[in-house]
Chain A
């Protein structure tokens, strides 16, 4: 992975959008994250080697793109609750509420900004407490 500035729109731009948009985007992302957590748990339990198929975590609710990451790469994304994995080019669905912070040949890592980041972190914390 290497740092990237692809599609970076910054906090100021993000704050121009309505908070309801940020909430909705963060909640959508959280559902994809939860789905991927179950996939990762299964892959871990079954001892799958190599790249595992995960579901793109972009903010477009109808997106069903498949992105393959190793479990190590996936866990690296999950280390920060504001970070999500997107298929390349899909970060634009966040409408400025995310910026690309790293990119590989098959996916990008985005950081949620402003209210979207706060909600994403809150929802991750709630999941961890379950």
Chain B
């Protein structure tokens, strides 16, 4: 079980890293419009779906290291639960214990 939680956490952490770099590039090139695309931060490393959200929503998402944005239905219930449903995506919170600890430990901010 722990190994599965670690694998899911690693995949989500890399997705978050990608999205942080996308935000950096948007800032560097002054390319921000009202919304920008991030990749789904679910635990499936093969997921290629993208989510459009505003810069403000993205900043709010990142303010809690245990929160991730996923396409509806991509949540993995035994390691996370949906805390907010938006139009195009859900915000999930990692469950307390190993999943939350790993999410905090891999937070790039």
A interface residue numbers (CB < 8 A to B): 28, 31-32, 35-36, 38-39, 42-43, 46-55, 61-62, 64, 66, 68
Q: With an 8 A cutoff between CB atoms, is B36 at the interface?
A: yes
Q: Smallest CB-CB separation from B37: which chain A residue?
A: A64
Within 8 A of A (CB), among B1-41: 7, 9-11, 13-15, 17-18, 21-22, 24-26, 28-29, 31, 36-37, 39
Q: How many A-B residue pairs have CB under 8 A?
A: 68
CA distance A32 to B39 in the complex (A): 16
The secondary structure that dominates the A interface is: mixed
Chain B residues, Cβ within 8 Å of A49? 7, 45
List 12 additional A-B contacts (Cβ < 8 Å) besides A31-B28, A66-B39.
A39-B21, A42-B17, A47-B10, A48-B11, A48-B14, A48-B45, A52-B14, A53-B45, A55-B18, A55-B21, A55-B25, A66-B50
The secondary structure that dominates the B interface is: helix
18 pairs across A/B with beta carbons < 8 Å?
A28-B29, A31-B28, A31-B29, A39-B17, A39-B18, A42-B13, A42-B17, A42-B106, A46-B106, A49-B7, A53-B39, A53-B48, A61-B25, A62-B29, A62-B31, A64-B36, A64-B37, A68-B46
CA distance A68 to B13 in the complex (A): 16
Q: With an 8 A cutoff between CB atoms, is B108 at the interface?
A: yes
Please state if B45 and A42 are interface contacts (CB–CB under 8 Å): no
